[in-house]
Chain A
Amino acid sequence: MTIKKDKFKELYIETQSFVRASVFWLAPTLDRDQLDDIVQETYLKSWRNFDQFKGSSHFKTWIYAIGKNTTIDYLKKNSPKNFIVFDDTETTRNEDLEMLDLIDKGIMSLEIKLREVFILFYKLELSIKEIQEVLSLKEGTVKSRLHSARKEFENFLNSQEIEEGVEL
């Protein structure tokens, strides 16, 4: 048990900032306590299934999937309003957008599939190969989503520049 826990602690230290940032960027309207809850729950879930974890798949990949599912479940249970953030058919509600600044609004305006790739690549600075592993996608799909996300993000910023005269 001690060896297992020591190994788990090592992996926690290695991945906690990544997990925290990815949860935060999946749902930036969460407050700090909610973020803490989700991160802790993510590690507890991964501990429960730690025996099933095979070293062949990278821990980061595995825990990202757990973190993402935990975030979605949390939002479904605790805040149905925020769940819309994960709805592929819509972007984000206006009242949520009001809380964020222009760049964050641009990120939140992306649909979840695009936002996920965009955040992993530009905010968390993962390589295309790592994103492929984390999301279990083909290289071509990652690249095409990234291309669409960048285009939509730039279009959003350009439209805001024209509307509000914002300089970036």
Chain B
Amino acid sequence: MNDNNLRTLLKNHSKSVPQASPYEWQKINQRIDELESRSSILDLIKHPILTRLTLAFTLTAVILFSSQNFGSRNQENLEEYLFSDSYFESIEENQTYAWID
């Protein structure tokens, strides 16, 4: 059997390939658009300037929050100290020393 005979035999006897739908390109096109809109959102997230801005904002927020906390803790400590016995004792001690001088 030569090549041409074999090709003819295969054409005539084997089953045919199911045809593509006429809307196949539209479907592919639609999926490409979906893919592109998803990837553009991802690109925005990955954008270097935006990433730096987000990082700077986060760091500022963390610093502000912790300094505020630190400040209020100091305030509490101070108030606690001012109304404690040791504060009055130290005043008394100072007055004693002043009197000796």
Residue of B6, B14, B15, B32 near A47 (CB, 8 A) is: B32
A14 to nearest B CB, angstroms? 12
Chain B residues near A43 (CB-CB < 8 A): 28
Chain B interface SS verdict (over half): helix
CB-based contact A154/B18 at 8 Å? no
CB-based contact B18/A24 at 8 Å? yes
**When A122-B7, A123-B10 are in contact, do A44 and B27 touch as well, CB less than 8 Å?**
no
CB-based contact B18/A32 at 8 Å? yes
Residue of A35, A40, A103 near B28 (CB, 8 A) is: A40
Residue of A nearest to B10 (CB): A122
B9 at the interface (CB under 8 A from A): yes
Query: How many residues of A are counted as interface, with CB atoms below 8 angstroms from the partner's CB atoms?
Result: 35
**When A150-B6, A154-B1, A168-B9 are in contact, do A28 and B28 touch as well, CB less than 8 Å?**
no
User: 8 Å CB contacts to A: which residues of B1-49?
Assistant: 1, 3, 6-7, 9-10, 13-15, 17-18, 20-21, 24-25, 27-29, 31-32, 35-36
CB-based contact B20/A36 at 8 Å? yes
CB-based contact A21/B20 at 8 Å? no
CB-based contact B18/A44 at 8 Å? no
Known: A25-B17, A103-B9. 13 other contacts (CB 8 A): A1-B36, A12-B25, A16-B24, A32-B18, A39-B20, A40-B28, A47-B28, A103-B14, A104-B15, A122-B3, A122-B7, A150-B6, A168-B9
